[in-house]
Amino acid sequence: MFRNLRAANLRFSIVDNHYELIDSVLKDHCIMLRIDIEDCPAEIKEKLVAEGFSLRKWGTFIIDLEKPEEELWNAIKKEARKNIKRTQNEGCHIELCKNDYDFKGYYQMFKQSRKSLKFTTPPYHVMRRQWHILHPNNFEIFLVKDRAGELLAGMGVVFTKDYMIEVAAGRQREKHSSQLYPNDLLKWEIIKWGHEQKIKYYDLAGINPAPSPESKEGNIKRFKEKWGGQYHDWYFFEKHNPRTLLQKIFYKIEKKFRKQHETL
């Protein structure tokens, strides 16, 4: 019912390049269209700009997982390798999300983590349903736990046989000491897992290519560039269409519906 009120997101990666889908996207009457393209050819930029899309350049790091595991490890910056070993020595380990109990713990941590960043989170029942649909096919959630089994961090990975991208990262900021680095351990274990699954590329999901050094985005860029990935440009094309009166009414209904389902 609300399809025309949502953003239509299509991802064109460096390993699929299905640019012919753009023509069908341009016929969509959604209020907001957003197209993400990595390594975007000049003719695609010109086509979208001519159709009224605004352009914003972004970036991402992509790790080639076909390299030997030793080479992947050595490509990581020395400080991160030390953090991983230290966290392992403290008894921290990785588990995959296996059931609803695991998922509920992950969701609560993810929601709290986003709240601290002043972001909203989809309702529990929505994310749980998505996990049940995607998990059997192409979605895993990795959990970092300490020696006592307490959850410290977690992140999802959406994947195909050629490509995987990280999504929905969260961590328990108050539950671990400064001597533990669960996010570093998490990243390395995901790299190893992708390599073992014979997936070709790991996309670290985007960075601001030119942030101010001390900003949050600057910290994100420093964290993601230490894993040995190759930098790629990434472009956002966005187009906003005016709402009709009926669409404005539907938008208000949907907004009220979402508010009612914000809590578990």
Q: Name the segment(s) of the chain with CATH classification 3.30.110.
A: 3-60+235-260
- Round to whole Å and give the CA distance between 120 and 194: 29
Task: Return the pLDDT at 241.
Answer: 65
CA 249, 255, 260, 261: dihedral to nearest 10 degrees? 130
User: Which pLDDT band, with edges at 50, 70 and 90, does 4 fall under?
Assistant: very low
User: Tens digit of pLDDT for each residue in 140-182?
Assistant: 999 999 999 999 999 999 999 889 999 999 988 765 556 799 9
Report the phi/psi class of residue 220: left, alpha or beta, with left for phi > 0 and alpha for psi in -120 to 50.
Answer: alpha
User: Tens digit of pLDDT for each residue in 51-92?
Assistant: 788 888 888 899 999 999 999 999 999 999 999 999 999 999
CB 30 within 8 A of CB 7: yes
Greatest mean pLDDT range, 15-19, 33-37, 74-78, 239-243: 74-78
Q: What is the percent of the chain with per-residue pLDDT over 90, rounded to a whole number?
A: 49
User: Tens digit of pLDDT for each residue in 181-197?
Assistant: 999 999 999 999 999 99
Q: Name the segment(s) of the chain with CATH classification 3.40.630.30.
A: 66-199
User: Which pLDDT band, with edges at 50, 70 and 90, does 48 fall under?
Assistant: confident
pTM of the model: 0.77
User: Which has more confidence, 116 or 89?
Assistant: 89
Residue of 4, 7, 5, 6 whose CA lies nearest to 236 = 7
Q: Residue 250 is which amino acid?
A: F
For the chain, give the mean pLDDT: 82
- Asked whether the predicted pLDDT for residue 8 surpasses 50, the reply is no
Structure tokens at 221: 């860029």
User: Which has more confidence, 7 or 97?
Assistant: 97
The top-level CATH class assigned to 3-60+235-260 is alpha beta
| Mean pLDDT lowest among 36-50, 149-163, 225-239 | 36-50
The SS3 call for residue 135 is helix
CATH of the domain spanning 66-199: 3.40.630.30
Task: Return the pLDDT at 7.
Answer: 43
